Amino acid sequence: MTKSNTNRPFFLLVMLIFSVIIAVSVHAEVRLPHVIGSNMVMQRDIRLPVWGWADSGETISVSLDTNQASVKADKDGSWMVSLYAMKAGGPYHMTIKGKNTITLENIMIGEVWVCSGQSNMQWNMINIDNSRQEIATAEYPDIRLFQIPNITAGEPRNDINAEWCECSNETVRTFSAVAYFFGRDLYRKLNVPVGLINTSWGGTRIEPWTPPVGFEKVPSLQSITDEIKKADTEYRTQIQAFIGDTEQWLKQAKAFTHKGNPVPDPPKIPAHDLDNRVRPTGIYNTMIAPLIPFAFRGAIWYQGESNRGEGMVYHEKMKALIRGWRTVWGQGDFPFYYVQLAPFRYRGGVFIQPELLPEIWEAQTAALSEPNTGMVVTVDICDVNDIHPRNKQEVGRRLSLWALAKDYGQSGLVYSGPLFRAVTFQGNKATVEFDHTGDGLITYDGGDPTWFQISGPDRLFYNAQAKITGHMIEVWSDEVQNPVAVRFAWHEEAEPNLMNSARLPASPFRTDAW
């Protein structure tokens, strides 16, 4: 064994001790989480938490313009103040004083939204329709962007390595297109600064984004709660064993070094079983938890492809996500608006099941039962051969309609496409009623409504004719004399033409529960 290899474990030990010394010295100074930084937007009209770390018992003072507060760090060095609510405006600077002073510049007060999900939320500006022109004109210094990197952990982290920046044709290029267009529309309509926190990761399921308390609030997901508790217990047991092994190794390393003998390799730090992008809470711990309790208005969400095949179980998981985020933030039932997946040809070979995507649509529609939620339908702005529709401009606009109508008091807006309300059967016809029809139902091509099916007691569905009658649809088929059920766009490739007077498309549905 060479000298360098012989001394490597001891070198690692020295570096570990050195790192601890550095960490302790850094902790002695006042420091902030990265989400509180220069160029940020802070939420208007609600109290503003500002937090960080310092020496135990150290007095920390925070000032934002004339807004001031002070507090003593608790025994573990954590501290938080709550500044009073402010109106939209800026730029301001913030000063945080303890044993050292931190000054943050170019802070705006306005509207802040968390933007999350998988690849369709992560999809950046480079890959959208008309990307060159959109990027070239994306000069909005009062829109601020905060891009969170994709990492995981088995337990919640208190910080994330990211920085706020002004929106420009350079900074927006790799930012979420949906988030940008949503924020741009709010900025144009409200004329106040907008902060966008993009925390998204392609190919991820919903479970890794959900905190433990979310699963606990949905009894049907008890097995996931048990899974999390088991992983945490096993990790704690492994850590205890690791500590004992490390103490023994330190004694051996000291003795071996004095004798000039090779030092054995140190124990390996155990990995947490949830430290993975596919495991429950694994992404929440690093890409959501470090944001809490940063004040914001609401969240937008675009995810579901990776949970396809779960049907209404996905509804239960959406409840867990929404309730979980609302619980850990403690801001009440903040707005949660999401995008229903677009039609896509999954090409399942001999195992083709074209109803699996509609079942996710059904679960997403059911999530509207959660308070203060809204859903954007995208059946008309898709390409069934591309799971990533490129018209993110319209997705962002439709999300902004929900916010403008529900959160910003803009009256008279039709903000949702038609949603199934009820069906009645008389003779050989079904009459379908909808919510959110605006001034009436239309079709984008002027023809009769497409993608309707109807069934009798035999549960066999036939393609049906349909006719608009004001705010309702009549549906029938010569093959069905005694109809009992109706389906609309119940196929993964369905691109129906039905919409309301605001040209927002109708959501797929079925009236049967077979």
Band (250; pLDDT cuts 50, 70, 90) = confident
Band (379; pLDDT cuts 50, 70, 90) = very high
- What are residue 424's DSSP bridge partners? 431
Shared domain check, 474 and 440? yes
Report the run of H or E that residue 8 belongs to, with start and end.
Answer: helix 3-27
Band (170; pLDDT cuts 50, 70, 90) = very high
Under a CB-based contact definition with an 8 Å cutoff, are residues 301 and 200 in contact? no
* Mean predicted confidence (pLDDT) in 331-337: 98
Position 260 scores a pLDDT of 67
Shared domain check, 423 and 446? yes
Helix, strand or coil, per DSSP, at residue 414? coil
Band (9; pLDDT cuts 50, 70, 90) = very low
Shared domain check, 334 and 312? yes
77: left (phi over 0), alpha (psi -120 to 50) or beta: left
Smallest Cα–Cα separation from 34: which of 137, 132, 104?
104
Cis? peptide before 508, omega within 30° of 0? no
Residue that the structure tokens 């500002």 belong to: 50
Residue 472 lies in a domain: yes
Shared domain check, 338 and 456? no
For residues 23 and 334, the model is more confident at: 334
Under a CB-based contact definition with an 8 Å cutoff, are residues 20 and 14 in contact? no
Domain ranges, residue 498: 419-510
Per-residue pLDDT reduced to its tens digit, 402-412: 999 999 999 99
Residue 157: count of CB within 10 angstroms of its CB: 16
* Mean predicted confidence (pLDDT) in 152-173: 97
Residue 464: count of CB within 10 angstroms of its CB: 25
* CATH number of the structural domain spanning residue 361: 3.40.50.1110
- What is the rounded CA–CA span in Å between residue 56 and residue 351? 61
Position 484 scores a pLDDT of 97
Band (24; pLDDT cuts 50, 70, 90) = very low
Average the pLDDT over each of 20-29, 98-107, 230-239, 277-286 and give the range with the smallest value: 20-29
Shared domain check, 337 and 478? no
Position 14 scores a pLDDT of 45
Q: Give the dihedral sign, CA 271/277/281/284.
A: positive
Shared domain check, 444 and 398? no
Note the residue count of the chain. Answer: 514
Shared domain check, 192 and 136? yes
Per-residue pLDDT reduced to its tens digit, 63-87: 999 999 999 999 999 999 999 999 9
Residue 26 lies in a domain: no
Position 142 scores a pLDDT of 98
Q: How far is CA 216 from CA 152, 280, 310, 314, 319, in A?
A: 21, 12, 19, 16, 11
Per-residue pLDDT reduced to its tens digit, 124-156: 999 999 999 999 999 999 999 999 999 999 999
* Mean predicted confidence (pLDDT) in 293-320: 97
CA dihedral 85→90→91→95, nearest 10 degrees, is: -20
Q: What is the DSSP string of 181-222?
A: HHHHHHHHHH-S-EEEEEEE-TT--SGGGS-HHHHHT-GGGH
Residue 497 lies in a domain: yes
* Mean predicted confidence (pLDDT) in 373-396: 96
- What is the rounded CA–CA span in Å between residue 9 and residue 95? 43
Of 382, 406, 430, which closes a domain? 406
Q: How many domains does the chain have?
A: 2
Residue 34 lies in a domain: no
Residue 447 lies in a domain: yes
Burial 232-259 (b: 16+ CB within 10 A, else e): beebeeeeeebeeeeeebeeebeebeee
Position 424 scores a pLDDT of 97
Shared domain check, 157 and 179? yes
* Mean predicted confidence (pLDDT) in 180-200: 98
Given a cut of 60, whether residue 110 has pLDDT beyond it is yes
If you average pLDDT over every residue of the chain, what do you get? 92
Position 22 scores a pLDDT of 47
* Mean predicted confidence (pLDDT) in 289-311: 97
Of 406, 435, 461, which closes a domain? 406
Residue 169 lies in a domain: yes
Shared domain check, 329 and 191? yes
Where helices occur in 68-221 by DSSP H, the ranges are 119-122, 131-136, 177-190, 212-216
Band (351; pLDDT cuts 50, 70, 90) = low
Shared domain check, 433 and 502? yes
Of 406, 432, 464, which closes a domain? 406
Strands 194-200 and 101-117: parallel
Position 393 scores a pLDDT of 98
Q: Is 110 exposed, middle or buried (0-12, 13-18, 19+ CB in 10 A)?
A: buried
Band (102; pLDDT cuts 50, 70, 90) = very high
Shared domain check, 473 and 380? no
Given a cut of 70, whether residue 422 has pLDDT beyond it is yes
Residue 12 lies in a domain: no
Q: What tokens were used for 124?
A: 């950046």
- What is the rounded CA–CA span in Å between residue 289 and residue 283? 9
Q: How far apart are the first and last CA of the chain?
A: 70
Residue 268 lies in a domain: no
Cis? peptide before 358, omega within 30° of 0? no
* Mean predicted confidence (pLDDT) in 429-442: 97
Per-residue pLDDT reduced to its tens digit, 265-275: 888 999 999 99
Shared domain check, 291 and 203? yes
- What is the rounded CA–CA span in Å between residue 195 and residue 145? 6
| Percent of the chain surpassing pLDDT 90 | 87
| Percent of the chain surpassing pLDDT 70 | 93
